[in-house]
Amino acid sequence: MPDWRPDIASRLGGLRLDPAREAEIIDELSQHLDLRYDELLSEGATADEAFRTAISELRDAQALATAMRPLRQSRVRPREPRDPRLARLTAYLIQDGTFALRQLVRSPLVAAVAILTLAIGIGLNTAVFTLVNAVLLRPLPYPHPERLAWIAPYDELHKQQVFASRGDYLVWKQQTHVFEKMAAYGTRDFNLMVGGEPSQERIASIGGDFWEITGAQPILGRLPAEDDQQGVVLSYGLFQRRFAGLPAIIGQGVEIGGSAFTVVGVLPASFRVTFPQQTAPGDELRDLDAFISLPHGQQRPGSEIKSPNRPAPYWVRVVARLAPGIPASRALLEMQTLHAQLKRDYPRPPALQTSIRVEPLHDRLTDGARFSLVVLQGAVGFVLLIAVANVANLLLAQASLRTRETAVRAALGAGRGRLMLQFLVESVVLALIAGTAAVVVAYTAVPLLVSLAPFSLTGIADITVDARVLAFTFCISIVTAVLFAWAPVFETSRVSLLSTLGGTTPAATAGSVRTQGLLISFEVALAVVLLTGAGLMIKSLWHLQMYPEGFSPRGTYTMRVPLSGPRYEDLGQKHAYVNELLQRLENAPEVEDAGIASVTYNIPVEVSGRRGNADSPPVVAVRMVSPAYLRAMGVSLVRGRWPTAADAHESVVVNETFARSVIPDGDPIGRAIGGSFLSGTIVGIAHDFASTLDGEARAELYYPWNRSPATQSVVVAVRMSESDVPVVRRLVESIDRTQPVYRFQTLEQSLSESIAPRRFNMLVLELYAGAAAILALVGTFGVVARSVSRRTRETAVRIAVGARPATVVSMIVREAMTYVLFGIGVGVAGTFGAGRLMSGMLYGVEPHDPPTILVIAAGLAVAALVACYLPAAKAAGVDPVIALRQE
Amino acid sequence: MSTPPLDRELKKGSAELIILSILETRSRHGYEICKLIEQRSHGSMKFHVASLYPLLYRLEERGWLQGKWVEKAGERRRRFYSLTAQGRRVLASQRDTWKAFVRAMDLITDPDNA
């Protein structure tokens, strides 16, 4: 028979047929010609004649193509030639995918448990990653975020960044060449008077290229020029709150800190300044309410802003935008040179010796949260790993039930790779379903985390599940799938064809039992690490909440009074106010003790008879307080006495740390102090206390407030019963209506807030550790239960031949517990690594705290024992006759 | 074996009706369709490969026919064509038109009616 195909193919050549369709047509036409050829032969034609007649029915070379051309099938878009291997893989994937879905439907319980477990694991990871993404990964919402830098003097003595002087800033701005833009800002709370109504607002005083750096565009009015000393720009929040969102306020006059200003613009609701703020301890972090210009005039580098006629901060902070192509390191070099020169030209007291730091603004803003978030992400990753181990175990059990199916497929010619691919696809399908559910979990968990998160930081306000988060979820779903597919794939690769097909019941191989056991060890080890982490956090918090000896804050209320406005520019007027305040509080029958604290100076203090270098007296915190302040704060004396009314003017009290560190070898009481503006005699030693619960106690000296060279806003501490709070509040506010009391709370509240970040870390870690423990125990229970049910026959035989049920139970429990104990051992070893990582989050407890580790290990072991015992006892209670008959 | 010109013109106009009629009773493959046309017209009408198959494909694209590969034990697979429901409706309507046309032609061309 002649081969017509090449001939037909050449006639179809000019058409754009789908290759598969073309093959069909060639097939069909050549069949036709075959039949025709046979017919002609049977009619007596020679082979040659038959061939020529048949082929002539195709007519001329163009006839077929001409007749075909108008057809739709002749105009198929040309397709890329497909790689046959790829095509085969695609076909396999589709086939396995459908099979996987059918498999899930067939065992809905297993599918539901696996999907739920994974959805929680992946969902929690997604939720934490959403925070990580918003806070750490997303760029700052300002133009050229990658070039924004933070410039700050660094106090080498106290190891902390400090404010900059405006005089320094002006020199930096004029004399550096590495920055394209530079701005200074300072924030302070001032009284805002609108139509005779006061409110306390956070006012930013700004200078330099602040608006260019932030890229702000007003929604109403305009932004003031730098030399506009009268204009104020409102935040959207303030615009709504105090001005009812009325556009007519542009051009209206308001009073800020007693000075007249004109509203020139309103910023959009989306605009937020997330730069670090200038806050006193205990101040709340809040958005900036309004923006005014820094006062004019050249200040001396190193000194604070003095502006008698205008509200202004004393010090500023500095942000800059690096010139294109300039790395922060080069900027630092230039700043260091300039800083050294400034220190030479304008000598500063030794206590104000600083170096200079330049760092990316993003780093500075995320510093506080980075550590917490990284630990959280790690912890939640552990939870996912445990979930993965559980699902792997579940699938492993499924796989061993399916060994027959696998063996049949292998016998029919499926290669090992093909079988593994199938399990992998099943896992991926499972993980992708779980990943989708996880997004729902994340959507629920994110608002919860945000409401708990203490870091009121950049990005936290507009947290969203964006493309990067979804990509993350997808990736971890796939990674997860690969991880848990490993167990059944591994199991499958060992299936022995003959034994499986020949046997009646899929028997558990020693290997699969070991794999399941090791997965349990793995889960338990992770749970130990997480639980220990949570345990250490709980212990830290417990330590933190134990107030130090001699400090009992219960019953103390604190509030702040701004002392701002034109009436309080003069020190004498401030003193008059505070004296009046103290007088009224002292006379009030409701008040047990009351005092105020004002400024704190970090300055060198000389103490008579102190050993050591007289040229470098120790720098301590000198706090300006009224005589009863410490008592009102709930602090008691270690030794000595409180200042009396008669000698309050020249008596000072020091704290224990002062006594210990400044005068280690003698009695401080009765010694004279000096240095700077200080003079007086130490009359008492008070217990240490700090305004934050996790603050380190520092050497402090309590000095009469009315001898301070300056008084700023004051903190008022009052010891009273709760029912008297309104009376006392009214009493304070009635002194001057323009000085609203704010931050009125119990001392315990403000102390508790100071450790909010730790509490958040603990809460979340506890949550995750709890989830991890439950997952691990459920996993252990499940594995033991399954292995017991598969060994029903063995158990029955043992009991039938006389083994006591107790022996059988102990055998099963012993086997399972070996893996659990191994896991606990590995976990305890793991806590050493994790503990080192966590040490920054701990307080008053070592990362390797033996009691904590011991309690966790023992607790988990007992729980696991129960989880093993329950199914074992059930197995031992089975009637051997029934069990054997079932087989 | 060339077709007379008149025959070609007539065939062109009625080709669709011919194919649909051939397939009315049962499904057939291309060669069979070809042979049946030849037999039923006593050899006066013939379809060649180069015109038959494009016509079948066109009717298939219009949804009047449906082609299906059929495999039988010991035989090569063959493509069988059958009428769709739409094909049946078209056949009925074309047949009516054709009959009316032929009647009209008869009336005009029959000398008895003259």
pLDDT digits (tens, 9 = 90+) for A453-504: 665 544 555 677 778 888 888 888 888 888 777 777 776 666 555 555 555 4
Antiparallel, parallel or unpaired: β A220-221 and A259-266 = antiparallel
- Tell me the two tokens of residue A710: 């300056």
- A433 contacts A478 by C-beta, under 8 angstroms: no
B31·A35 Cβ contact <8 A: yes
**Position of tokens 């240095």?**
A675
Query: How far, in Å, are A27, A166, A264 from residue A229 at the CA level?
Result: 90, 16, 11
Higher pLDDT, A512 or A457: A512
- A694 contacts A626 by C-beta, under 8 angstroms: no
Average pLDDT score over residue span A76-86: 69
pLDDT above 70 as % of chain B: 86
B49·A25 Cβ contact <8 A: no
- A391 contacts A487 by C-beta, under 8 angstroms: no
Residues of A whose CB is below 8 A from B78: 31
Residue A793: band (very low, low, confident or very high) from pLDDT cuts 50, 70, 90: confident
Give all domains of chain B, ordered by start, each with its CATH number: 5-113 (1.10.10.10)
A68/chain B closest Cα distance in angstroms:
5
Residue A350: band (very low, low, confident or very high) from pLDDT cuts 50, 70, 90: low
| In A323-415, alpha helices (H) | 328-345, 361-401, 403-411
Higher pLDDT, A654 or A82: A654
C-alpha to C-alpha distance for A676 and A484, rounded to whole angstroms: 69
Phi then psi for A206, rounded to 5 degrees?
-125, 155
Q: pTM of this prediction?
A: 0.62
Residues of A whose CB is below 8 A from B61: 71-73
Q: Which residues does A311 contact at the CB level (< 8 Å), separation at least 6?
A: A188, A190, A203, A205, A256, A257, A258, A259, A292, A564
Using a CB–CB cutoff of 8 Å, tell me whether B72 touches chain A.
Answer: no
Closest CA to A200 of A736, A734, A741, A725: A741
- Tell me the two tokens of residue A305: 């802003």
What DSSP character marks residue A248? G
A144 exposure class (CB count in 10 Å sphere: 0-12, 13-18, 19+): middle
pLDDT at B3: 43
B54·A29 Cβ contact <8 A: no
- B94 contacts B79 by C-beta, under 8 angstroms: no
What DSSP character marks residue A164? B
Residues of A whose CB is below 8 A from B16: none
Element (H, E) at A255: strand A253-256
- A597 contacts A705 by C-beta, under 8 angstroms: yes
Give the CA angle between residues A825, A830, A831 to the nearest 5°.
100
pLDDT tens-digit map of A145-185? 999 999 988 887 667 778 888 888 999 999 999 999 999 99
pLDDT at A718: 93
pLDDT tens-digit map of A590-634? 889 999 998 888 788 888 888 776 667 788 888 999 989 999 999
Higher pLDDT, A748 or A786: A748
List the single residue in A59, A68, A70 with the smallest CB-CB distance to B48: A59
Antiparallel, parallel or unpaired: β A651-655 and A680-686 = parallel
CA dihedral angle for residue A64, residue A67, residue A69, residue A72, rounded to 10 degrees: -120
pLDDT at A78 over 90: no
Phi then psi for B63, rounded to 5 degrees?
90, 15
Residue A285: band (very low, low, confident or very high) from pLDDT cuts 50, 70, 90: low
Closest CA to A676 of A703, A699, A654: A703
B35, closest residue in chain A (CA to CA): A36
C-alpha to C-alpha distance for A8 and A138, rounded to whole angstroms: 62
pLDDT at A682 over 90: yes
Interface residue of A22, A31, A32, A40 to substitute, partner B, most B CBs within 10 Å: A32
pLDDT tens-digit map of A113-128? 888 888 888 888 888 8
Residue B20: band (very low, low, confident or very high) from pLDDT cuts 50, 70, 90: very high
A29/chain B closest Cα distance in angstroms:
7
Q: Residue A120 CB: number of other CB atoms within 10 A?
A: 20
Of the listed ranges A18-27, A517-526, A607-616, the least confidently predicted one is: A607-616
pLDDT at A748 over 50: yes
- Tell me the two tokens of residue A231: 């204009």
B59, closest residue in chain A (CA to CA): A71
A73·B48 Cβ contact <8 A: no
Using a CB–CB cutoff of 8 Å, tell me whether B107 touches chain A.
Answer: no
Residue A563: band (very low, low, confident or very high) from pLDDT cuts 50, 70, 90: confident
Radius of gyration of chain B measured on its C-alpha atoms: 16
What is the residue type of A522? F
Using a CB–CB cutoff of 8 Å, tell me whether A64 touches chain B.
Answer: yes
What DSSP character marks residue A618? P
Closest CA to A290 of A377, A201, A371, A225: A201
CA atoms within 13 A on the CB side of A128: 27
Antiparallel, parallel or unpaired: β A259-266 and A231-234 = parallel
Which of helix, strand or coil describes residue B30?
A: helix
- A487 contacts A399 by C-beta, under 8 angstroms: yes
List the single residue in A64, A70, A71 with the smallest CB-CB distance to B50: A64
pLDDT tens-digit map of A392-446? 888 777 776 777 777 777 777 777 777 778 888 888 888 889 889 988 888 888 8
pLDDT tens-digit map of B32-66? 999 999 898 888 888 888 889 999 999 999 999 99
B51·A25 Cβ contact <8 A: no
- B47 contacts B53 by C-beta, under 8 angstroms: no
B97/chain A closest Cα distance in angstroms:
26
A85/chain B closest Cα distance in angstroms:
26
pLDDT at A458: 45
A26, closest residue in chain B (CA to CA): B53
List the single residue in B30, B49, B55 with the smallest CB-CB distance to A58: B49
pLDDT tens-digit map of A568-598? 878 888 899 999 999 999 898 988 999 999 8
**Position of tokens 């063959």?**
B78
Average pLDDT score over residue span A756-773: 77
Residue A505: band (very low, low, confident or very high) from pLDDT cuts 50, 70, 90: very low
Using a CB–CB cutoff of 8 Å, tell me whether B53 touches chain A.
Answer: yes
C-alpha to C-alpha distance for A828 and A532, rounded to whole angstroms: 9
Using a CB–CB cutoff of 8 Å, tell me whether A10 touches chain B.
Answer: no
C-alpha to C-alpha distance for A233 and A265, rounded to whole angstroms: 5
B50·A57 Cβ contact <8 A: yes
B79·A59 Cβ contact <8 A: no
Higher pLDDT, A410 or A66: A66
B46, closest residue in chain A (CA to CA): A57
CA-based torsion, A568, A573, A579, A581: positive or negative: negative
B75, closest residue in chain A (CA to CA): A31
Residues of B whose CB is below 8 A from A73: 57, 61
pLDDT at A831 over 90: no
B53·A58 Cβ contact <8 A: no
pLDDT at B2: 44
Question: Contacts for A337-345 with beta carbons within 8 Å, 24 or more apart?
Answer: A338/A171, A338/A172, A338/A175, A338/A176, A339/A153, A339/A168, A342/A168, A342/A171, A342/A301, A342/A302, A345/A301
pLDDT at A282 over 50: no
pLDDT at B4: 47
- A685 contacts A637 by C-beta, under 8 angstroms: yes
Rounded mean pLDDT of chain A? Answer: 82
pLDDT at A239: 93
Residues of A whose CB is below 8 A from B50: 57-59, 63-64, 67
A64·B54 Cβ contact <8 A: yes
A59·B50 Cβ contact <8 A: yes
Average pLDDT score over residue span A376-383: 83
pLDDT at A222: 92
Q: Which residues does A596 contact at the CB level (< 8 Å), separation at least 6?
A: A578, A581, A582, A625, A626, A629, A705, A714, A715, A716, A717
A78/chain B closest Cα distance in angstroms:
19
